[in-house]
Amino acid sequence: MDIQLNQVKMSDGKALEGKADEKIVEDFNPQKKKPKRNKYAFACAILASMTSILLGYDIGVMSGAAIYIKRDLKVTDVQIEILLGIINLYSLIGSGLAGRTSDWIGRRYTIVLAGAIFFAGAILMGFSPNYSFLMFGRFVAGIGIGYALMIAPVYTAEVSPASSRGFLTSFPEVFINGGILLGYISNFAFSKLTLKVGWRLMLGIGAVPSVLLAVGVLAMPESPRWLVMRGRLGDAINVLNKTSDSKEEAQLRLAEIKQAAGIPESCNDDVVEVPKQNTGEGVWKQLFVYPTPAIRHIVIAALGIHFFQQASGVDAVVLYSPTIFEKAGITNDTDKLLATVAVGFTKMIFILVATFTLDRVGRRPLLLSSVGGMVLSLLTLATSLTIIDQSEKKLTWAVGLSIATVLSYVATFSIGAGPITWVYSSEIFPLRLRAQGCAMGVVVNRVTSGVISMTFLSLSKGITIGGAFFLYGGIAIAGWIFFYFMLPETQGKTLEEMEGSFGQFKDKFDKNKELDHVQLGTNVRT
């Protein structure tokens, strides 16, 4: 995960000085001035985010394929749990390699590599003769997914103008949901085939998106921030001119990136020498050994948002929807898969709503309202499943309520916690720490997802399925509290301004404590 990034310190919260600061705030604050969407940046974000289809398709298709894999290969529930969840841990290898790889060969060709690795994994899974071979295929596919998860949000954040960064950086989550929907549809479409052919075709056809990705990436430019770090200022300004809302903004973005990279402002040659970069050891020290208050706050916020996104049980719902619907009283395979397709459509619709509201509403309001809705849905789902579990006869109203709350849960997740996690964590790290910071967030995200997905069936047997969702609901409540106190708003700020928004909670706490003393008469001031 060590990535070659320069260690030149940026001045806290000051990307540019004098009038340049005023122009950033006045001219590029989307709340004051809303420029038209940059079509070129829009197209780049779409192509980069296509890598996220790979993860989404795998999640969706395994949900239904697991039913037929269990019957065909005669495996246990524990083996199914491991099969479904282990890819999250395998993806850590890809995420660990992606940071250094993306600094070495560039963001664009790292995306190509992600697609190629997943293609090989999908083919291996499609031709699996037994459980062990299937696990090997998932190992290969998992590495490709790890690459994709790390590089898509980083590239999109680095190529996007500040006015639409939230809109464009939410695209990876949009495509994850699109992939999940395609996986669910694949389950339904191939469910009528023979037992030995159906699930293998479901998995093997996942190679198709990776081929399309490899072709589409040829039309993408390289990240301007990566180009600057390589000293290619001429190429960087060409990309910035195409992806910014104006020529002036392009110059401002270039100046900020140059400052972050330690390149003198007066240096404007097409190719320049960048200050010597180290192996990345200093970056990890800045993150964990001697972080500034702002960096410490950023690390806590990034790790926390990734942890709570997954610990609230979203992968349990998405991966095990057929199992949940079976517990709710739906026994026919076709009906279970059809209800699961409804889950996919709901996720897709609401992620699109989030995409168009992120830069208008802001990160905090959407995130807090989203998690609040998730809490309500989880607790209601847990209650209805508990009632069904304890009832000796079928309760139609409880079945309907269970289905409705599954849909409301994925809807509220998709409108906030889903996309904002990736947007927020990719934009808050300063350039010198961004690749490692994002990779670190992916590690927490995938480990938590792996734990949830590899324990759901066992947890449901141990404390009942209703008890499992009560647990997820409690975690979601803790997440809401964490988000409220630890995550400041980042809407409209440039990536280089972001550091100044963090590290101020201790000062606020001290001021509030001092104010309390004044009100109590214990600290009289003249």
How far apart are the two ends of the chain, measured CA to CA in Å? 54
In a domain, 526, yes or no: no
Output the pLDDT for position 308: 97
- Note whether 20 and 256 are within 8 A (CB): no
Tokens coding 77: 């529930």
Please compute the mean of the pLDDT values over residues 67-85 and round it to a whole number. Answer: 92
In a domain, 26, yes or no: no
Give percent of the chain above pLDDT 90. 37
- Residue predicted with more confidence, 8 or 278: 278
In a domain, 362, yes or no: yes
Output the pLDDT for position 375: 97
In a domain, 214, yes or no: yes
Tokens coding 172: 């990876």
Coil, helix or strand at residue 459? helix
Name the range with the highest mean pLDDT among 48-52, 100-104, 450-454: 450-454
Tokens 């995938």, residue? 446
- Note whether 88 and 310 are within 8 A (CB): no
pLDDT tens-place string over residues 258-282: 877 778 777 777 777 777 655 556 7
Output the pLDDT for position 34: 53
In a domain, 174, yes or no: yes
Q: Which of 179-188, 429-438, 499-508 has the lowest mean pLDDT?
A: 499-508
Could you give the CA distance from residue 168 to residue 80 in angstroms, rounded to a whole number? 35
- Note whether 180 and 425 are within 8 A (CB): no
Asked if pLDDT for residue 25 goes beyond 50, the answer is no
Looking at residue 10, what DSSP letter applies?
A: P
Could you give the CA distance from residue 58 to residue 410 in angstroms, rounded to a whole number? 17
Output the pLDDT for position 280: 57
- Alpha carbon dihedral 402, 403, 405, 411, in 10-degree steps, equals 160
Looking at residue 218, what DSSP letter applies?
A: G
Nearest alpha-carbon partner for 5 in 141, 113, 127, 103: 103
Number of structural domains the chain divides into: 1
H or E segment and range at residue 496? none
- Residue predicted with more confidence, 143 or 509: 143
Please compute the mean of the pLDDT values over residues 148-167 and round it to a whole number. Answer: 79
Could you give the CA distance from residue 27 to residue 19 in angstroms, rounded to a whole number? 11
Cα 377 to Cα 269, 372, 408, 421: the distances in Å are 57, 9, 6, 20
In a domain, 6, yes or no: no
Could you give the CA distance from residue 324 to residue 398 in angstroms, rounded to a whole number? 13
In a domain, 25, yes or no: no
Output the pLDDT for position 316: 93
DSSP H helices in 312-362? 314-319, 321-328, 333-361
In a domain, 518, yes or no: no
pLDDT tens-place string over residues 212-237: 887 788 778 888 888 988 888 888 88
Tokens coding 470: 């009560």
- Note whether 414 and 354 are within 8 A (CB): yes
Could you give the CA distance from residue 131 to residue 134 in angstroms, rounded to a whole number? 5
Q: Which of 57-71, 205-219, 312-326, 378-392 has the lowest mean pLDDT?
A: 205-219
Nearest alpha-carbon partner for 134 in 121, 119, 115, 118: 121
Amino acid, res. 239: V
Give the residue numbers spanning the domain of 181: 38-501
- CB burial string 27-47: b at 16+ within 10 A, e below: bbebeeeeeeebeebeebbbb
Could you give the CA distance from residue 56 to residue 60 in angstroms, rounded to a whole number? 6
Crossing angle (nearest 10°) for helices 321-328 and 363-390? 40
CATH number of the domain enclosing 60: 1.20.1250.20
Nearest alpha-carbon partner for 147 in 14, 261, 54: 54
Tokens coding 302: 């990034």
Give percent of the chain above pLDDT 70. 86
Output the pLDDT for position 177: 87
- Note whether 483 and 374 are within 8 A (CB): no
DSSP H helices in 391-417? 396-412
Q: How confident is the model at residue 356 (pLDDT cuts 50, 70, 90)?
A: confident
Please compute the mean of the pLDDT values over residues 51-60 and round it to a whole number. Answer: 86
- CB burial string 412-436: b at 16+ within 10 A, e below: bbbbbbbbbbbbbbbbbbbbbbbbb
Tokens 């290898």, residue? 93
Nearest alpha-carbon partner for 154 in 229, 241, 59, 238: 229
Nearest alpha-carbon partner for 153 in 483, 425, 359: 425
Asked if pLDDT for residue 65 goes beyond 70, the answer is yes
Asked if pLDDT for residue 202 goes beyond 90, the answer is yes
Neighbours of 341 (CB within 10 A): 19
